[in-house]
């Protein structure tokens, strides 16, 4: 890359550049985006729709939504689809009537985006209409309609009707008068019902346990874990614990951890011998819930001490503390001295499970560990122990030279906040600068809002002048919610700075084909295709950091079995992240769905907080769709993805595709 981009003011001579810069600044240019949505070329109109969808609905309200509603009648199906997706991103209830009016758009791609958008808006008429799309002529529309109820409010008055309709649809067979759902629809419907904890779907989950496609088996496990067990589901889960797909076995272990019967304990004990460390880890975590089987569990947990994986050992340490309580304190004290920081993390997480008398001293000691990952786990554990000593330690950490530790202290204090915390929090707010400072400030605003009172209001008002727009919006929102009689000054977020963004062909390469990168790890290599046309800023940032060799030697600091692996943090604890331009990336959410091997951008509560970290998904994760940026997708090396555990290393990342 090697390109230095100077901040430029947009000009009307290049409408796509204008849109890119205003979109990144999260402003509509005083109505310019709405104008371009109506009068530009098809490509310009489509990009304007995308940009309008990314504006904060609280700052840019009716005019942005109205412009997108008009675009639903555009001659271009691409513009109509982009407008529908953007309306879903805004989740503005005022768009409900327009979406209903355009439900039968002749283009299947537009109908798919309308169904998806409708699923994100809390409106009973939209929910009812989505269920009719289960019989849409297009299979992709039907699949999105089956997935849509996962986003419906589970306690809405129409929830029983929704569950009944989806179950009835999914249980159609080939002998019926209407087409039976195919596998792409079945796993999505099962996912939706599991998220909804739909008890009436139990028979469907049990049937899905024997499905050929592992995705159906995965969501069958999740569903059975969510709705409780009967004899048939217990038997199915025990069988699935031995599934040939490690992801299914992990989900079965997670579900069995929510049960309480001897057969589950026995099966989980066997699973602690599984070839996959992910399955062994999940098995130990599940066994931590079996309080009626403590005697049998002792030998199983003792065996974990010699497991080859430090992650499994750490999980067993924490789960053992959950199961045996304070009697594990001596073992935890020894684990806290282990040379492997992953084991010390397990000790910190286990200590959090003890009584405050046993936990607080150990956690306070571990909060000073030289490895920030261990210290962070200990600080997180202090949230459950409101002793005078733990509070004093958290106050001390608010003055730490390490912003990651400051952030952990702010978060933990939020669980036990009192008025005594307000002065230290104010001092932390005024002295926090640099990396993570915005997230620290946002957390302080949350803590102040929980406490209430005049002093808390004063702290919230201090947030109105913070340099970060997200902090300003958060403080403004809390004041409006908690102090409705307080007059707020006019928001200045409409005057957001227009920052440097990579313009393809001007500041960034024009790719004839999507670039590919190779991520070499200590387990082998993975190859990913990147999507510069969909997420130009994220791809530019990733390639710029690759060119600087930023990722070489960093670790994967987070692994959630059958969910994600995450790495790219120079700190190694999940609290670090830099970008090519020195400020966070704005979200670039697209209609692309998360699948196995999707390359995504982590974020905090601020949607526009992307950095150098990245995550890769083990499977489809629909709850992330439209909420996290996907900037690439894995093309080879899935066995490497499956092998990665916390602490594994990124040896290098290399660009493979010539420009």
- Reference 277, options 561, 594, 485; nearest CA is 561
Q: Kindly state the percentage of the chain with pLDDT values over 90.
A: 87
255 contacts: CB under 8 Å, gap ≥ 6: 221, 222, 224, 225, 237
State the pLDDT at residue 165.
Answer: 97
- How is 322-362 classified by DSSP, letter by letter? HHHGGGGHHHHHHHTT-SSHHHHHHHHHHHTTS-HHHHHHH
Distances (CA, A) of 299 to 296, 304, 363: 6, 9, 27
* 260 or 387, higher pLDDT: 387
Question: What does the alpha-carbon distance between residue 590 and residue 593 come to, in Å, rounded to a whole number?
Answer: 8
Residue 493 pLDDT exceeds 60: no
Taking the CA atoms of residue 55, residue 57, residue 63 and residue 65 in that order, the dihedral angle to the nearest 10 degrees is 90
Taking the CA atoms of residue 301, residue 305, residue 308 and residue 312 in that order, the dihedral angle to the nearest 10 degrees is 50
Confidence of residue 14 (pLDDT cuts 50, 70, 90): confident
Residue-wise pLDDT tens digits, 446-483: 999 999 999 999 999 999 999 999 999 999 999 999 99
CB 314 within 8 A of CB 346: yes
Residues found in the chain: 659
State the pLDDT at residue 3.
Answer: 36
Query: Residue 477: how many CB atoms within 10 A of its CB?
Result: 14
Residue-wise pLDDT tens digits, 505-524: 778 888 889 999 999 999 99
State the pLDDT at residue 10.
Answer: 46
Write down all domains in the chain, each with its CATH number in brackets. Answer: 15-166 (1.25.10.10), 386-491 (1.25.10.10), 516-655 (2.40.100.10)
Place of tokens 């920081």: 341
Q: What is the pTM of this model?
A: 0.95
State the pLDDT at residue 658.
Answer: 62
Residue-wise pLDDT tens digits, 124-164: 999 999 999 999 999 999 999 999 999 999 999 999 999 99
């Amino acid at each position: 890359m090697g390109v230095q981009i100077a901040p430029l003011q947009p000009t009307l001579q290049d409408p796509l550049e204008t849109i890119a810069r205003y979109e990144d600044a999260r402003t509509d240019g005083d109505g310019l985006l709405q104008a371009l949505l109506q009068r530009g070329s098809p490509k310009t109109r489509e990009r304007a729709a995308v940009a309008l969808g990314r504006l904060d609905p609280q700052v840019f309200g009716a005019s942005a939504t109205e412009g997108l509603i008009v675009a639903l009648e555009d001659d271009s199906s691409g513009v109509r689809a982009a407008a529908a997706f953007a309306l879903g991103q805004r989740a503005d209830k005022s768009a409900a009537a327009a979406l209903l009016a355009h439900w039968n758009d002749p283009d299947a791609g537009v109908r798919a985006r309308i169904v998806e958008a409708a699923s994100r808006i809390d409106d009973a008429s939209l929910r009812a209409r989505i269920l009719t799309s289960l019989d849409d002529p297009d299979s992709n529309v039907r699949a999105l309609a089956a997935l849509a109820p996962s986003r419906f409010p589970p306690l809405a008055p129409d929830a029983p009707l929704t569950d009944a309709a989806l179950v009835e649809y999914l249980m159609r067979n080939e002998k019926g008068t209407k087409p039976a759902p195919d596998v792409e629809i079945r796993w999505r419907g099962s996912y939706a019902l599991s998220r909804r904890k739909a008890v009436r779907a139990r028979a469907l989950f049990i049937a899905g346990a024997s499905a050929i496609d592992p995705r159906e088996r995965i969501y069958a496990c999740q569903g059975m874990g969510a709705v409780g067990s009967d004899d048939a589901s217990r038997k199915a889960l025990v069988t699935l614990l031995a599934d040939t797909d490690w992801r299914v076995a992990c989900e079965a272990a997670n579900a069995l951890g929510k049960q309480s019967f001897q057969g589950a304990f026995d099966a989980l004990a066997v699973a602690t011998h599984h070839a996959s460390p992910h399955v062994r880890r999940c098995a130990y975590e599940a066994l931590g819930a079996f309080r009626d089987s403590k005697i049998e569990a002792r030998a199983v947990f003792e065996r974990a001490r010699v497991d080859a994986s430090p992650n499994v050992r750490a999980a067993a340490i924490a789960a053992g503390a959950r199961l045996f309580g304070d009697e594990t304190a001596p073992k935890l004290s020894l684990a806290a001295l282990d040379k492997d920081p992953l084991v010390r993390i397990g000790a910190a997480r286990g200590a959090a499970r003890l009584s405050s008398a046993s936990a607080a001293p150990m956690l306070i000691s571990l909060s000073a560990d030289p490895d920030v990952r261990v210290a962070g786990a200990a600080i997180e554990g202090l949230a459950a122990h409101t002793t005078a000593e733990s509070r004093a330690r958290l106050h001390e950490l608010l003055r730490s030279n390490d912003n990651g530790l400051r952030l952990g202290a702010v978060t933990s204090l939020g669980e036990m906040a009192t008025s005594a915390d307000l002065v230290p929090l104010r001092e932390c707010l005024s002295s926090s600068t640099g990396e993570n400072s915005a997230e620290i400030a946002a957390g302080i605003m949350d803590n102040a809002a929980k406490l209430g009172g005049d002093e808390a209001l004063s702290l919230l008002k201090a947030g109105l002048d913070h340099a970060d727009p997200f902090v300003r919006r958060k403080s403004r929102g809390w004041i409006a919610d908690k102090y409705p009689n307080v007059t707020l000054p006019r928001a200045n977020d409409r005057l957001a700075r227009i920052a440097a963004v990579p313009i393809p062909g001007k500041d960034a390469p024009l790719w004839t084909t999507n670039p590919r990168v190779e991520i070499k790890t200590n387990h082998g290599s993975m190859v990913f295709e990147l999507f510069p046309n969909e997420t130009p800023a994220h791809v530019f940032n990733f390639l710029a950091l690759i060119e600087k060799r930023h990722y070489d030697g960093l670790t994967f600091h987070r692994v959630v079995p059958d969910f994600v692996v995450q790495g790219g943090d120079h700190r190694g604890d999940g609290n670090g992240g830099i970008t090519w331009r020195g400020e966070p990336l704005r979200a670039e959410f697209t209609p692309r769905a998360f699948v196995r091997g999707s390359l995504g951008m982590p974020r905090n509560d601020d949607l526009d907080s992307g950095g150098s970290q990245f995550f890769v998904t083990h499977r489809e994760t629909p709850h992330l769709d439209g909420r996290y940026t996907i900037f690439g997708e894995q093309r080879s090396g899935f066995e490497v993805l499956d092998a990665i555990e916390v602490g594994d290393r990124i040896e290098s990342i290399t660009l493979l595709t010539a420009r």
